[in-house]
Structure 1
Amino acid sequence: MLEGSAQSYWMASSKSPEYPTLTEDVDVDVAVIGGGIAGISTAWELTRAGRPAIVLEADRIVSGVTGFTTGRLSALHPWVFAPLRDSLGAEAARLYARSQQEAVEHAVQIADKLGIQCDVERRPSYLYVEPVERTGDLKAEAAAVREAGLAASFVTETPLPYDVAGAVKLDEQVQFHPRHYLLGLAEDLVRGGGRIYEQTRVVDLVQGRRHRLTTDAGVTVHAREVVIATLFPVFGRALLDFRLVPLRELVIAAPIAEEDDPGAMFITREDNTRSVRTAPYGEGQRLLLITGESFEPGSGETTERHRTLVEWTRRHFKIGDVHYWWAAQDLDTTDKLPYVGRVDDNLYVATGYARSGMSHGIMSGRLLAGLLTGEEQPWTDLYAPRRKHPIREAGPVLKVGLSHLRRRIADQVRVTRMPVAELKPGTGAVVRMRGRVCAIYRDDHGTPHVLSARCPHSGCLVTFNDAERVWECPCHGCRFAADGSVLQGPATAPLSPEYECMNP
C-alpha cells in the first residue's frame, strides 16, 4: 500500500452538481468536446460573448486532467523564454509572456466578478536551480523573462528550507483551487444559456458544412463549429501525432504547520522535476503539495517513484503523514508551445500544455472564443496548430518518431508466456497465449480479467500500472480501467475482451 489516500485533494474537497447525459439528437452552433479547463473556459467565453456553446464530456466535468493538477497559475514557465526568444524572436517571447500573464489576471477577475470562492492567493513564483554551474543559464533565462515584459528578478535566496544556487522570481502570481474555480464557471455558463452534458463520449466526427458528432450512445450532434479540448485530440491526430509527447508526474499532499509554509510557489526541472506549493487546510495548518518524478505513461515503477517523492519531501519539509497522492498527466510539444486554434474549416483544437495547464487553459478559452467571434487575440499565430518551426522541431519530431518505433519493436520482446495462475492478486501482465497478446489482471479475489493488450487508438501494447491498477498505453497516453473501460483518451473505445485467452 502506498502512503496516503489515492485520490486528488481537489477532487476530494469539492462536489459538483450532476449534469445530464445527452439522449437525443441536437443541432447546435458550437460544440466543445471536453470538460476540463480549456473546454469549460472556451464554452464560458463563447456564451458570455453571445454564442452559447454546449460541452460534451465523456465522464464528469473537471474530473480528468484538470482535477489532478497542482493548481499553480503562473506566467513563469520553466525554461521557455530564452529558447523562444532565440528561435522565434523577441516579439514571440513578448506575446507569450503577455498571453500568460493576462490569463492569470483574467482568472482572478472572473473569480471576483462571479463571486467564486476558490482560495485565490497571490504568491511569488520561483524557478530555481541547485547546482552553481546552472546559474549562468538561469541568469540568461531571467534576462529573457524581463525582456519579454515580466517584472522578474534573479535572486540567490528563497523561502525554501534548503539552499538553492539561484532562482528567477516573479511576484503577484496565483495559486487557487482549480475545481472550485471551474465548477463556478460551469454554473455561470449554464445560467448564461450554455449547456453541459456529462457521460457523453464522442466517438466519431465527420467533417462537413455542419460537422456531425456521434456519441457512444448513438446520439448525433450537428454543429457549425467544433472545439476539441481533450488532453490528446481524439480526432485529427495525423496533424499532431509526432508533435505531442505524453508524460505523467506524481503529486503528494501532506499537512504542514502554518509557520513552516514557505509562502510561495517553486519549480525546478532538476531531481526529475520538483514543484512546491501549499493550500489552505484547516486551523493552523496548510496542505503542502509536492509534484515530481516525471515518467512516461506505461513505464512502470510508480510505487518506487512515490516512495522517492515522499522521502525527498520528508528530508526537506516538516510533514507528518501523507494525506493524499495522485498522478497528473500532460503533453509536451516538440517546440514547447501549446497547439491552440483552427486545424480545419470550423474545427479547432487546444492541447499540449507542457505542465503549465492552468494559464494555458485559460489563455486557450480567450484565444478560441476570439477566433469564433471575429476578435482574434494578438498571439493567435504564435499558438496556431498548423504552424511550422522546422529548425526548432526537426530534432524533437524525429526523436518522437524513433521512440514510437522502439516501442513497437520492444512490444515484440516484452510479452511474457507466464501462466495466468502465476499472477498474484492485484497485479497484471501482458501475456502471449494461443497466438494472442492478452492483458490479464487478477483482482484481489483471484479472478482473472482478460482483455486484448492492443490499444484501440493506435495498436500499441498497453502495460499495467501497479500503483493505480490501470492499463496504460505508452504511445499516446491512453489509460484504461482494469475492466478495459476508457479512463483517458485519445482512445474512444475500450480494450476489448480477448476470448482466446480466457480458458488457458
Structure 2
Amino acid sequence: MWLSAAGGCSRSEPGRTGYPARMTENPHVSGSYWLQTAHGPDRATLADDIEVDVAVIGAGVAGLSTAWELARAGRRVALLEAERVAAGVTGHTTAKLTALHTLIYDKLRRTRGPEGARLYARSQSEAIERAAQTAQELGVDCDWERRSAYTYACDPGRTDELRAEAVAAREAGLPASFVTETGLPFPVAGAVKVTGQAQFHPRKYLLALADDLVARGGQVYEHTTVVGLEEGEPCRLTTDAGARVTARDVVVATHYPVFDRALLFTRLSPRRELVVAGTIGADRDPDGMYITPDEGTRSVRTAPHGEDRLLIVTGEHFTPGTGDTRSRFQHLSDWAAEHFPDVTLTHAWATQDNDPTDTVPLVGPMHPGAHHTYVATGFGGWGLSGGMMAGRLLTAQITGEECAWSELYDPRRLRSTVREAPSFLKHQAQVARHFVGDRLRPPPPVEALPPGEGAVVRADGDRLAVYRDEAGHLHALSPRCTHMGCLVAFNAAECAWECPCHGSRFDTDGKVVQGPATRPLEQRDI
C-alpha cells in the first residue's frame, strides 16, 4: 500500500520530457527507470534552414531506427525531436522485444490469412535479430538478455483460446507451444510460450544508435517541434522557431501522427498504461516475459539490478483523460505486492500506446496520393519490435528496395479496415461520446477545486481548464484540445491535462507533452 493519494503535482524540469518526476507522495518512488539510468547528451535545437535527403520527425524507436537505417544506406538524414531523444513513449516502455504480441496470430490468420500471419511473425522476428546484431556491432552494453515470452491466463475458460493461439503462432513460424507451467510465483491455467525472445535497456541501446547516426553524418536536433508540412518535390517542413527543412522524403514517426492527411486518427485508439517497478532477489526471478489480457492487462518482466533483479509490472490500461489514475496505480502496486510479496517498489511511471482498429500497425506511404511522405504509427503496445521493423520497411521503400511485408502494413489498406468495422465504429462512438457528452456534463464551480487538483470548471460563465497549485494559485487554460477541439480532463497522478479523443497531453501551463497536438492550450485569465 505504498501509493497514496498525492495532494499535489511535481512540476517537470524545463527542457525535459514533461513527465512528472514523481507520481506519489512516497519520496522513494520515482519515475522511469530507463530515463534515470541512461543520460544522453543535450543536442542542439534547429535554428537555421537545412537541406537533406530525408527528414524524420520523432526520435523514438521508430524514428531513430528509420533515420539510422537510412544513414547506413547512404542518405543524408535529419532527425527532428520535439523534446529529448528516446525520452517520450520509448523512454517509458516495458522494453520487451518479442514477436508474441498477446493474442494476435489466431486473429491474423482469420483476418489476413495464413500468409499474413507468417509475414507478421517474420517481420517482427527479423526486427529482434536486427537489434541483437546492431547491439553487438556497436558494442552497446544495454543489458541484453534472451528470454522466453509467455501469454498466460489464470481462468481455465481461456485455455482453448490459448491453445488456438499457440497453434496459430507455430504455423506462422514462431517456436511456440502451449504450456501449463511457467516461472511465475502463482499457478496459471495455461500459456503460449515462444522461446528465443529478448529484453534490454531501450534507452542505452537507442542513445548508442543516435551517436552512430551522427557518426555517419546524420543530424539530430532536440527541442525542435515541426508545425508545418508542405508536400511536393521536394517536401518542406517548418519548425516552431521558424526554421525550414527541405527534404526529398519525410517520415512522420511521432507515435501519433502530427500530420494526418489520410484521417488515420479515425483508425487509432489511444491507450494509457501504468508501470510500477522494484527490486526482488535474483532467486525470485520468474525467468521470462509475461503478459495476460485479463485484469486490465498485467505484464511482468525483470531486468538486471546489481545482485538483485528489477521487477517491472505494467497494466491498468485506460483511455487518457478518464477515471482516477491514482487508484489505478494503487491497484497495480497492490497486485505486484500480492504476487511478489518481497518486492520493494521504487519506481512508477506511465506510457501510452495507439491501437489500430484492424490490429496491424500502419507503416508506409502517408496517404493514397503520397509519393515522398511516410508514416509509422499504431504499434498497439509493441512499439520496440514494431519500430525497428518500421525502420527497415521505410528504408526499403525510400531506397526503392522490395519488402515482402509492405502490403501487410500499408496505411492505405481498405479491405482489412472494412473487415474490422466493429472496432472502427466502436472507436468512433467513443470519440463522439466525449466530444458531445463532455460538453453536456455540468462543470463544478471553480471554488470547489482543492489545492493540487485540476478540473474543467465553471468560472465567470465560461468553461475553463483550471489547476489550483499547492499555494492556492489558479492556472487557467482553454479546455479545448488544440488537435480537434475535444475537452481535456485532468490526470492528478501525472499532473497533466489529457484529451480522451486522440490522446494529446499537456502540462499545467498548457505546454504540449504528447501529440498529436502541436500547439499549447491557450492561456486564460481567471
Q: TM-score w.r.t. structure 2 length?
A: 0.93
CA distance in 2, matches of 1:278, 1:13: 15
Structure 2 residue corresponding to 1:472, chosen from 482, 486, 498:
498
State the one-letter code of the partner of 2:51.
D
1:96-495 map, 5 Å? 96-236=120-260, 238-283=262-307, 285-343=308-366, 344-388=370-414, 389-418=416-445, 420-495=446-521
Runs of 4+ in 1 over 4 A off after TM superposition: none
Q: Which whole-Å deviations, capped at 9, do the CAs of 1:259-295 have from their partners, x for residues lacking one?
A: 0011110011101100000011112x10000000000
Structure 2 residue aligned with 1:52: 76
Structure 2 CA distance for aligned equivalents of residues 456 and 147 of structure 1: 46
**1:8–1:68 CA contact under 8 A, matched in 2:** yes
1:436 positional shift: 2.6
2:358 is paired with a residue whose SS is coil
Match of 1:37 in 2: 61
In structure 2, stretches of 5+ residues that fail to align are 1-5, 7-23
Work out whether residues 226 and 346 of structure 1, in 8 Å CA contact, stay in contact via their aligned partners in 2: yes
Q: Which amino acid aligns with 1:376?
A: E
SS at match of 1:60: coil
Amino acid in structure 2 at the alignment position of 1:303: R
Distance 2:139 2:345 in 1: 32
Aligned partners of 1:78 and 1:127 also within 8 Å: yes
Could you tell which deviates more after superposition, 79-88 or 429-438? Answer: 429-438
Amino acid at match of 2:345: V
Q: Once the two structures are superposed, what CA deviation does each residue of 1:339-372 show, in whole Å capped at 9, x if it has no partner?
A: 0011212000000000111100100000001111
> Is this contact kept in 2: 1:426–1:444, CA < 8 A?
yes
**Contact 2:439 2:487 (8 Å CA) reproduced:** no
Structure 1 position 207, deviation (Å): 1.4
Q: Secondary structure at the match of 1:241?
A: helix
Q: What's the CA shift string for 1:226-248, capped at 9, x where partnerless?
A: 00000110002543121000001
Match of 1:254, SS state, is strand
Q: Please list the CA deviations of residues 435-476 of structure 1 after superposition, one character each: whole Å capped at 9, or x if unmatched.
A: 432100011111100100000110000000010111000111
Aligned match for 2:89, one of 33, 40, 65? 65
The whole-number CA distance in structure 1 between the counterparts of 2:35 and 2:133 is 24
Alignment RMSD, CA only? 1.1
Return the offset for 1:390. Answer: 4.1
In 1, the alpha carbon distance for the partners of 2:190 and 2:269 equals 29
Query: What is the CA distance between 1:5 and its match in structure 2?
Result: 2.6
Report how far residue 391 of structure 1 moved: 4.0
Name the aligned partner's letter for residue 482 of structure 2: P
Q: CA, structure 1 residues 176+26, in 2 after alignment: closer, same or farther (shift >3 Å)?
A: same
Aligned residue for 1:477, secondary structure, equals: coil
Cα distance change of structure 1 residues 390 and 450 upon mapping to structure 2, 3 Å threshold = closer
Does structure 1 conserve the Cα–Cα contact (< 8 Å) formed by 2:291 and 2:300? yes
Offset at residue 392 of structure 1 (A): 2.4
Shift of 1:315: 0.9
Q: Which amino acid aligns with 1:20?
A: A
Is the 2:357–2:417 Cα contact (8 Å) retained in structure 1? no
Deviation of residue 209 (structure 1)?
Answer: 1.5
Higher mean displacement: 125-134 or 33-42: 125-134
- Deviation at 1:61? 0.7
Q: Return the offset for 1:133.
A: 1.2
**What is the deviation of 1:433?**
2.6
Q: Report percent identity of matched pairs.
A: 54
Among 26, 47, 51, the residue aligned to 1:23 = 47
Please report how far the alpha carbon of residue 413 of structure 1 lies from its aligned counterpart in structure 2 after TM superposition. 2.8
Query: Cα 1:6–1:376, aligned 2, differ >3 Å: closer, same or farther?
Result: farther
- Name the aligned partner's letter for residue 200 of structure 1: T
The DSSP-based 3-state class of the residue aligned with 2:125 is helix
SS class of match (1:208): coil
Return the alpha-carbon distance in structure 1 between the equivalents of residues 191 and 444 of structure 2: 51
Q: Which moved more, 1:201-210 or 1:171-180?
A: 201-210
CA contact (8 A) 1:38 1:362 kept: yes
What's the CA shift string for 1:182-227, capped at 9, x where partnerless? 0000000000010100000001112122112111101111111100
Deviation track 1:21-58 (CA, whole Å, cap 9, x = no partner) reads: 00011121100000000000000000001012110000
The answer to whether the 8 Å contact 2:144/2:200 transfers is: yes
Are 1:256 and 1:318, in contact at CA under 8 Å, matched by a contact in 2? Answer: no
Q: Give yes or no for contact 1:130–1:165 (8 Å, CA) kept in 2.
A: yes
Q: Per-residue CA shift, 1:51-110, capped at 9, x if unaligned?
A: 121100000110100000011000111111011101111000000000011111110110
